[in-house]
Amino acid sequence: MCFIARQTPDEKGILRIEARIQELIRAIGDRKIDWGALTVKWNPKAIEKAVVLKRYVSDHEPGVVLISFEYQWTRLMGMANLAEFARRYTLVVATSSTPPHALGTTLFMHQYPGERVFALLSNPADVKTLPRLSPKIRAVPLYASNWIDPDLYHPLPFPEKDIDIAMIAGFGRVKRHFALFRALRKMPRDVRVVMVGQPMGMTAADILAMAGQYGVRDRIKLVESVPFEEVGRWLARAKISLVLSRREGSSTVVMESMFADTPVGIYEDARIGSRVFINEQTGRFLRHEDLGKQLLDFLANAGRYSARERALRDRLCCHGSTAVLNRELKESALAEGKAWTEDIAVHRWTPDPQLLPAHRERLNEAYQDLRQRFGVTLGTQ
């Protein structure tokens, strides 16, 4: 039913499906579920895309744990003493797609013993959708793309940019590489394009073969499975960056491009959360027709944008976002009669969530306690 909801275009249809989902959840109730059979890459002993933001202080002041991707936070259901975890830690989750209908936002929320779960968005509409899926969910006006550390990006002066177009996208059909290949056929042959990605249902060989079908194989540079830091360097060298998906989650590439001071082009009808950050300083909305002509105009005016300056001004980085999340958590805790004597730590996505170096030492004991008390390793640091 969740899959059907994600494919349904009209609001009334979605509401009917949501009502049916709630009927099924009530019918299941608290019956034991084989979450291992329902969750891909099941591994309840390790949750890689997670970070401890606050230590457990007392029963009146729980800690805070953030977990990204639904298949990751549903691993909590394999924890033997889950009720104790839910009592000691407030859970923050980051959804990965839009619409957000999934087991992680429906059945998990019903069976998870915590009274409140905070959820980051993949799309502005999620502010209304998520609470409909579960009364436990409190939507937070932040995206996965809000956790970029600007210090990891080193912009180049525009005259030093030696790449025209950068496309940072996994090698999958949903990323629609073909749209750029088709546009390149009507653009000058000296337009320099770099594509950075990793296998995602398709391989680098598949992408190159596709480029060959459009007759532009010799006009692109393909870079595969590079370290996170190198992605930022490719973006800094580019005059413009493109995200050509019709629909995905938040899309961190949009914000990564901005902090590399590279304006971003996305489709005007794209269902991508980070489209809310596109404006006259940060990028351009594109139409599907005559894409090549639009890209040439975008390139001709690329030097006029000031993407990084705007992103910093609006505090769209990990520091500003931590302040927003901290405020939401603190207000909720105090309203529920709990204490709040410590603020959350600052974390960044690289691409997994990780604490900033200055915050790691004070939370080392919290990570150790989670391993010893609950038998789970959180994060990758």
Q: SS3 sequence, 224-243?
A: ECCCHHHHHHHHHHEEEEEE
Residue intervals of the chain classified under CATH 3.40.50.2000 are 150-313
pLDDT of residue 7: 82
Q: Is the pLDDT of residue 171 over 90?
A: yes
Q: Is the pLDDT of residue 97 over 90?
A: no
pLDDT of residue 34: 94
pLDDT of residue 156: 98
Express as a percent the part of the chain with pLDDT over 70.
100
Express as a percent the part of the chain with pLDDT over 90.
92
pLDDT of residue 256: 97
Q: Is the pLDDT of residue 116 over 90?
A: yes
Calpha distance 70→96 (Å, rounded)? 7
Calpha distance 359→370 (Å, rounded)? 17
Calpha distance 179→380 (Å, rounded)? 35
Record the tokens describing residue 191, joined without a space: 């337009």
- In this prediction, residue 5 has a pLDDT band, given cuts at 50, 70 and 90, of confident
Calpha distance 142→123 (Å, rounded)? 9
Provide DSSP, 193-259.
EEEEE-BSSS-HHHHHHHHHHTT-GGGEEEEES--HHHHHHHHHHEEEEEE--SB-S--HHHHHHHH
**What does the buried/exposed string (b/e) look like for 72-83 if buried means 16 or more CB atoms within 10 Å of the residue's CB?**
bbbbbbbbeebe
Calpha distance 284→294 (Å, rounded)? 10
Q: Amino acid letter at 119? A: A
pLDDT of residue 345: 98
pLDDT of residue 12: 84
pLDDT of residue 235: 98
pLDDT of residue 375: 95
pLDDT of residue 364: 95
Q: Is the pLDDT of residue 276 over 80?
A: yes
pLDDT of residue 291: 98
Q: Which CATH class is domain 150-313?
A: alpha beta
333-340 contacts: CB < 8 A, separation 24 or more?
333/61, 333/62, 333/90, 336/116, 338/60, 338/61, 338/62, 339/57, 339/58, 339/60, 339/61, 340/61
The whole-chain average pLDDT of the chain stands at 95
- In this prediction, residue 98 has a pLDDT band, given cuts at 50, 70 and 90, of confident
Q: Is the pLDDT of residue 381 over 80?
A: no
- In this prediction, residue 155 has a pLDDT band, given cuts at 50, 70 and 90, of very high
What average pLDDT score do residues 310-338 get? 97
Alpha helix stretches (DSSP H) within the chain: 2-7, 11-28, 35-38, 70-73, 82-88, 107-111, 126-133, 177-184, 204-213, 228-237, 252-259, 291-300, 307-313, 318-335, 357-360, 364-374
Q: Is the pLDDT of residue 9 over 90?
A: no
**Residue-wise pLDDT tens digits, 26-49:** 999 999 999 999 999 999 999 999
- In this prediction, residue 6 has a pLDDT band, given cuts at 50, 70 and 90, of confident
| Cα–Cα separations (whole angstroms), residue 37 to 43, 114, 169 | 11, 23, 30
pLDDT of residue 95: 95
* Cβ atoms of 77 and 111 closer than 8 Å: yes
What average pLDDT score do residues 218-232 get? 94
